[in-house]
Amino acid sequence: MMLKKNITITQIFQMSGNEFIYSLFDWVVGAGFNPTNATDSEKALIFVVTAHGILGNGGFRFFYENDFDNGLVSHEEIVSYFDKVGSHGTASILRKSLLLFPEASLIVTG
């Protein structure tokens, strides 16, 4: 989905489904998203959408190989954001996978 130019937050909140999610994601990123000073809600949006794409593209291996925001955000924190947005089933599955990969940051490709 491509970002619509000059879209307002009011217009975004009139959308639904994936159009709403990805437009809001693009709007937050376009506003200069920085996790060091972002609100918890902004982090939840950005990291859940990002993790969802990573998991859908490369599965658990790709998820655990990903160094979210240069290590500023842990995999455990990403899981908590899934709970925050109400995706408790996904959070539960990810928590179980964390038990299998307790040292996820040590996974090396190759």
pTM for the full predicted model: 0.72
pLDDT at 8 over 90: no
Q: pLDDT (tens digit, 9 = 90+) per residue, 32-90?
A: 777 778 888 888 888 898 888 889 888 888 888 877 766 677 888 889 999 999 999 99
- CA dihedral (70, 61, 100, 107) in degrees, to 10, reads -50
Q: CA 74 to CA 42: how far, in whole Å?
A: 16
Burial tier of 8 (Cβ tally within 10 Å: 0-12, 13-18, 19+): exposed
